[in-house]
Chains A and B, each alone.
Chain A
Amino acid sequence: MTEDKNLIYSILSGEINAFAELIEQYKKLVFHIVFRIVKSEEEREDICQDVFIKVYQGLKGFKGDCKLSSWIGKIAYNTSLNHIGKRHDDLWEDMGSREGFLESVNGNGHQPDHFATQNNYGDILRSEIRQLPEQQKIIISLYHFDDLSYKEISEITGLPDGTVKSYLFRARQSLKERLEKKYQSEEWLN
Chain B
Amino acid sequence: MAELKHLTDYQIQELLSEENRLRRSFYDDHLSSCSVCREKLTEYKKLFSKIEFADDIRISSDFTTNVLLRVQELRSGEINYPMLVFLLPFILGLSTLAALELSGVISLLSITQSSGFFISNFVSIVSTNLFSWLPSLNVSFELVAMGVLTAALYHLLDLLLIKPRFR
Binding site for B on A (CB under 8 A): 5, 8-9, 12-14, 16, 19-20, 23-24, 27-28, 31-32, 35, 45, 48-49, 52-53, 56-57, 59-65, 121-122, 125-126, 129-130, 140-141, 144-145, 149-150, 168-169, 172-173, 175-176, 179, 185, 189
Contacts and interface: CB of A to CB of B under 8 A. Distances in A.
B71 A62 contact: no
Contact of B63 (A45, A121, A150, A176): A45
A27 B63 CA distance: 9
Contact of A53 (B55, B74, B164, B166): B74
Given A45-B63, A172-B47, A19 B57 contact: no
B53 A122 contact: yes
A9 B57 contact: no
Contacts of B43: 176, 185, 189
Contacts, number: 115
Interface of B: 9-10, 13, 18-19, 42-44, 46-48, 50-57, 59-60, 63-64, 66-68, 70-72, 74-75, 80, 82, 161-167
A9 B164 contact: yes
A31 B53 contact: no
A175 B47 contact: yes
A144 B56 contact: no
Given A5-B166, A145-B55, A176-B47, A49 B67 contact: yes
A3 B23 CA distance: 32
Given A53-B71, A122-B53, A176-B44, A13 B82 contact: yes
19 contacts: A9-B164, A12-B162, A12-B163, A13-B163, A16-B71, A19-B71, A24-B64, A27-B63, A28-B59, A49-B70, A56-B74, A60-B164, A65-B166, A145-B55, A169-B9, A172-B47, A176-B44, A176-B47, A179-B47
A63 B51 contact: no
Nearest to A180: B43
A113 B42 CA distance: 22
Contacts of A122: 50, 53-54
A12 B78 CA distance: 13
Nearest to A144: B51
A125 B51 contact: yes
A31 B162 contact: no
Contact of A35 (B57, B68, B80): B57
A141 B140 CA distance: 67
